Amino acid sequence: MIGYIHSTESFGTVDGPGVRFVIFFQGCPMRCLYCHNPDTWTPQSGREMTAGELLAMFERNKAFYKSGGITATGGEPMLQLPFLTELFEEAKRRGIHTCLDTSGICFSPEHPEQYEALLQVTDLVMLDIKHIDDARHRALTGHSNRGILAFAQHLSDRGVPLWIRHVIVPGWTDDPAEQEALGWFLGGLHSLKALDCLPYHDLGKHKYEALGIPYPLPDTPPAAPETAAEARSRIIRGIKKRLRESACR
């Protein structure tokens, strides 16, 4: 089976636990206003590779990945579901820890069974929740968040470890009430293991210029690390509120 790969990173340290071999899949249906990888949007482009070729690259530096593994990111890896499943199946046969970094946009709540083979060989899902409010999510990404939130719940119901990521974008995801609402939702996810709040940056501007695409947030300043830390505290406050409510029932 052939996959379309944008690029790889040999020594990733922020894409899951430990040092990891990171595979950037080509193709993404979302158009997040703050996306810093617009060069990954176009599907069925990039380098054509097999699972065997990718894992051979992993094996060359295997000694460095003892506490890590492979991470599939993008773009959107689930856009190439059959190839992604084959890659993770072969990785698990070799005893490699597998992490899926996804927006969840490709999940269909009406047909959850089509993801079962993938989830059986996925050790960790890093799920990027862009916005908890559906209307704001549509404005920010061009898509509803309903399937994404359903995917989070499905992963929780199956006991798949979840690592949530949320980007703090000034004027878009910095409302305290919305942050607590996100926390309240996360408080219902029983397999939640970690939460990252990442400050928005505009380091991808040069990619838009190279592609001849107007940058969507030209007047939005980068978020300070302190702003992201405060947001994380509010989200955790929402998580604790949900847990207290559950305990009182």
For the stretch 205-217, pLDDT in tens is 999 999 999 999 9
pLDDT at 249 over 80: no
How high is the pLDDT of residue 97? 98
Phi-psi map region of 231: left, alpha, beta (phi>0 left; psi -120 to 50 alpha): alpha
pLDDT at 107 over 90: yes
Domains and CATH numbers, the chain: 3-248 (3.20.20.70)
pLDDT at 246 over 90: no
**Cα end-to-end span (Å), the chain:** 50
User: Could you tell me the two tokens for 190?
Assistant: 């029983």
User: Could you tell me the two tokens for 171?
Assistant: 């004027």
Helix, strand, coil shares of the chain as percentages rounded to 5? 45, 20, 40
Other C-beta atoms closer than 10 Å to the C-beta of 162 total 21
The Cα–Cα gap between 64 and 70 comes to 12
pTM for this structure?
0.95
Beta pairing partners, 127: 102, 164
For β-strands 3-12 and 20-25, DSSP reports them as antiparallel
Helix ranges, 35-145 (H): 51-60, 81-93, 116-120, 134-141
pLDDT at 181 over 90: yes
Q: Which helix (H) or strand (E) holds 197?
A: strand 192-199
Beta pairing partners, 192: 162
